[in-house]
Amino acid sequence: MSKKNKQKNTHKTNAVRIVEAEGIEYRMHEYDAPEGFLDGVSVATALGQDLDQVYKTLVTVGASRQNYVCVIPVADELDLKKAAKHFGEKKIEMLPSRQITQTTGYIKGGCSPVGMKKPFPTAVDLKAEDLSTIMVSGGKVGLQMELPVEDLLRITGAQLADLTVERE
């Protein structure tokens, strides 16, 4: 097997398979994560990308015990009250790290909004509305996937929503 084919096969995460099956044009971006996990700002920096184009995937749990997915810019902070209001919950909190793999099928730092074990209600921060493409995890640490915003919304069933703490 050629090096090119080996490299291509390393990208075949659930997220990539779904994007390809939908016929969506996308680009993969790889980065080194020697410690096994980088925060989102470090990922954007490692890729030389604008912080406003790279998004992180956060999994939450509501008072009803339902899980929700919030996709927000890497430099921003999730506003739990805004997220709860959007999803119609009294209260939402972050899913504990130890439950990410069991809940989503992905590991911390490699959690993509595309291709989780189960489809969860998903929202993408309103700031994505101004972008033509968005970068999200490709389904494993060290891999980011860039695709059109409207395609991400369509394949995840996501809605745009105001989800972040106001920047000062």
pLDDT for res 36: 67
> Quick one: tokens of 74?
């890497």
Residue with tokens 């509501």: 62
- For residue 55, report the phi and psi dihedrals to the nearest 5 degrees: -115, 150
- Residue 131 corresponds to which tokens in the numbers above? 């972008």
Half-sphere exposure in the Cβ direction for 24 (13 Å, CA):
26
Q: What are phi and psi for residue 114, nearest 5 degrees? A: -100, 130
Could you tell me if 136 and 57 are in contact, meaning their C-beta atoms sit under 8 angstroms apart? yes
Domains of the chain, by residue range, sit at: 3-161
Computed over its alpha carbons, how large is the radius of gyration of the chain? 15
Residue showing tokens 């920047």:
167
HSE of 168, CA atoms in CB hemisphere, 13 A: 0
Q: How far is CA 151 from the centre of its chain?
A: 13
Report the pLDDT value the prediction gives residue 8, as an integer from 0 to 100: 45
Quote the pTM value.
Answer: 0.90
The fold of the 3-161 domain, in CATH, is YbaK protein (3.90.960)
Position 18, amino acid: I
pLDDT in tens, the chain (168 residues): 333 333 444 568 999 999 999 999 999 999 887 766 678 888 888 888 989 999 999 999 999 999 999 999 999 999 999 999 999 999 999 999 999 999 999 998 899 999 999 999 999 999 999 999 999 999 998 899 999 999 999 999 999 999 999 876
User: Distance between CA atoms of 9 and 64, rounded to whole angstroms?
Assistant: 39
Beta 67-73 vs 92-94: how paired, if at all? unpaired
**Confidence (pLDDT) at 16:** 94
